[in-house]
A and B are shown apart, each in its own frame.
Chain A
């Protein structure tokens, strides 16, 4: 009986020994802590995805950005013109700004009374710094070169040079539609109100834990 038991235990141990060989324990893992260095050595010639960001966004409402920097990727952004509700501006701005202002009754509300400009100091920025008072349907650069509304990032990038660099690369801004190519990103005014670009303080969408209640 005892012998049998010993034999049984031995057999059990052998079976365990066979089945317990590490199946994934010791994966080939280099000592290098630089995953990035390893990544650079991997060449992925053909990345084939069955999906793209076009699956999740309306392709018709996207525009390609201009080449701003040498080598920068010309990705897609939502078309601002498709989002603007009262465009073209010349529907109302049919006369010059002076004529429009002169036509107002004393004390009458300004047309854009709801817009408060909280963007740099007035010594640096005023309406006409970005808006072209001679052609309200477009914006203009600091030197007066016309800029389309849909390409307003060119305007922002004049001062916010680090942000535009990060945006072109992909560190600033929000990915739209997914992660797979072709790249679609939110444009500056997609997240920031150009008249008041700072994000406002608010209560969190939820309390981190509601146990406190």
Chain B
């Protein structure tokens, strides 16, 4: 029975394969005009804007017999120009790349090259995708002063701009909650305030991904597409994520966001300084979240929200460095974290003056 099933699924492959192989040899093309390229949807690398195809659908097509590849089929078309062929080839290679954590340095640089080239082909602009690893002896921590935040929302603007978040769905990693003085209840907090700030008798508390030392989101990922880096940053491999959203359900802090649609960022607004695990452009059906601006923090800069905050309510740094500002805050101020009882050990503390 098992073999029957196997055979049934295999059969079309065997039927299809000779067709494509016969039609299109390696390099020297036997196909003529009459053979229109099959309506092959872009496979593998579907990160590019405007192309709709999820990983599952792509996989189904591949196993159904188009294994011989979009790249080769495309190369048969006389109309297809050199760039189209190159794009097909790059996408093809992108599709079969490994999980980022399993890549060698060489493989990392190759995928980066492909991503940069694909962006160039599609937009004519160049991006710079970094694969900088964690800096040794660094564990990032964050402190948020709830006495100082005035709810101005400059952090959110800076974050959206820095991290190439989808403009059409108004994706935001940071939420600023307006709370009544003397209360700390998220049910009663106003997340959609619409007036001059700071409002009388209220304080403001910002939430985002807390980069837990014991992150529940990482535990539940069925494909290992999200993990905690050595410097404590919890990251997502956007090309490995299958979009099951288990992590979103597991996060007790509403730290994760899902791309329900293909993210739209006007080219002129795209931040071209990117990181593979950070702000590079995402695709439909994958998770994303705050990465402490990994593309900035790993080169010594502060996350965009820290830099943009006009009140100095946000402190960032290396909590392993006994002389850092963040350590002083942790050791000298009254600090608290949200839902400490869960044992998630967020590296995001709140404090008061």
Contact = CB atoms under 8 A, between A and B. Distances in A.
Given A23-B224, A33-B340, A179 B2 contact: no
A210 B319 contact: no
A166 interface: yes
A13 B253 CA distance: 36
B301 A175 contact: no
A35 B330 CA distance: 10
A93 interface: no
Interface stretch (A51-59, A105-113, A130-138, A141-149): A51-59
B136 A48 contact: yes
Contacts of B150: 199
Interface residues of A, number: 60
Given A36-B330, A56-B301, A42 B320 contact: yes
Contact of B353 (A50, A51, A162, A181): A162
Contacts of A4: 2-3
Interface stretch (A80-88, A94-102, A201-209): A201-209
A9 to B, nearest CB: 8
Interface in A64-87: 73
Contacts of B311: 174, 191, 199
Interface stretch (B29-37, B68-76, B302-310): B302-310
Given A24-B218, A36-B331, A204 B197 contact: yes
B219 A55 contact: no
A202 B197 contact: yes
B157 A206 contact: yes
B208 interface: no
B152 interface: yes
Nearest to A42: B320
Interface in A175-200: 175, 177-181, 183, 185-186, 191, 199
Given A55-B300, A205-B156, A170 B325 contact: yes
B193 A208 contact: yes
A171 B331 CA distance: 10
B154 A183 contact: no
B343 interface: yes
Give the residue among A9, A179, A186, A191 with the most B Cβ atoms within 10 A: A179
A165 B300 CA distance: 26
A210 to B, nearest CB: 6
B295 to A, nearest CB: 13
A74 to B, nearest CB: 12
A59 to B, nearest CB: 14
Interface in B193-209: 193-198
A191 B312 contact: yes
Contacts of B317: 175, 179
A25 interface: yes
B333 A171 contact: yes
B250 interface: no
Contacts of B345: 33, 35
A5 interface: yes
A1 interface: yes
A166 B333 CA distance: 9
B170 A211 contact: yes
Interface string B137-163: 101000101001011111011000000
A51 B150 CA distance: 32
B246 interface: no
Given A204-B153, A206-B153, A208-B153, A171 B351 contact: yes
B63 interface: no
Given A33-B343, A55-B300, A191-B312, A183 B325 contact: yes
Interface of A: 1-2, 4-5, 8-9, 23-25, 27, 29, 33, 35-36, 39, 42, 44, 46-53, 55-56, 73, 162-163, 166, 169-175, 177-181, 183, 185-186, 191, 199, 201-212
Given A44-B322, A180-B318, A208-B194, 17 more contacts: A1-B1, A24-B227, A33-B343, A39-B320, A46-B137, A48-B137, A73-B323, A170-B315, A171-B145, A178-B300, A179-B316, A181-B323, A183-B323, A191-B311, A202-B196, A202-B197, A208-B191
16 contacts: A5-B2, A33-B340, A39-B139, A39-B320, A39-B330, A48-B137, A52-B300, A56-B300, A169-B332, A171-B351, A171-B353, A173-B312, A207-B192, A208-B153, A208-B191, A212-B192
Interface of B: 1-3, 135-137, 139, 143, 145, 148, 150-154, 156-157, 170, 175-176, 191-198, 213-214, 218-219, 224, 227, 297, 299-302, 306, 309-312, 315-333, 340, 343, 345, 347, 351, 353
